[in-house]
Amino acid sequence: MKEVSPHFILYVVAVGLGVSIAWMDSRPNWDDTAITVIMILGVTAILGFANPNRSWIWALSVGVWIPIGNIALYNNYESIPALVLAFIGAFGGAFARRLVSSRP
């Protein structure tokens, strides 16, 4: 039996959290953008800190679902900045990891 890679596990977690955030954001009564932004930034920052070499993968895995859902369901392109926030969070987490690990 082949052993499961830790990168694969983090990838599944990232996609699951990204889909969950997008699902929550798509609810008819959900109108709290600040919480959605904090969740995207927080999740991607943690993943970027956990594995800084794959920051772009974490940003796409979490952040792409909100724009895809909004474009597919509502023809709304105004949610593309969610993807930008995901990249900011992931690379911010990677930067924090490099700061922490470079200290003696």
Q: Is the pTM of this model over 0.95?
A: no
Asked if the model's pLDDT at residue 3 lies above 90, the reply is: no
Number of domains in the chain: 1
pLDDT confidence band for 7 (50 / 70 / 90): confident
50 lies in some domain:
yes
**Residue 92 domain boundaries:** 33-104
pLDDT confidence band for 104 (50 / 70 / 90): low
49 lies in some domain:
yes
3 lies in some domain:
no
98 lies in some domain:
yes
- Average pLDDT of 23-46? 92
2 lies in some domain:
no
CB contact at 8 A, 90 and 43 = no
15 lies in some domain:
no
Asked if the model's pLDDT at residue 67 lies above 90, the reply is: yes
- Average pLDDT of 24-39? 90
Asked if the model's pLDDT at residue 5 lies above 90, the reply is: no
Q: What is the DSSP string of the chain?
A: -PPPPHHHHHHHHHHHHHHHHHHHHTSTT---HHHHHHHHHHHHHHHHHH-GGGHHHHHHHHHSHHHHHHHHHH---TTTHHHHHHHHHHHHHHHHHHHHHT--
25 lies in some domain:
no
Distance CA 67, CA 72 (A): 8
Which conformational region is residue 4 in: left (phi greater than 0), alpha (psi within -120 to 50 degrees), or beta? beta
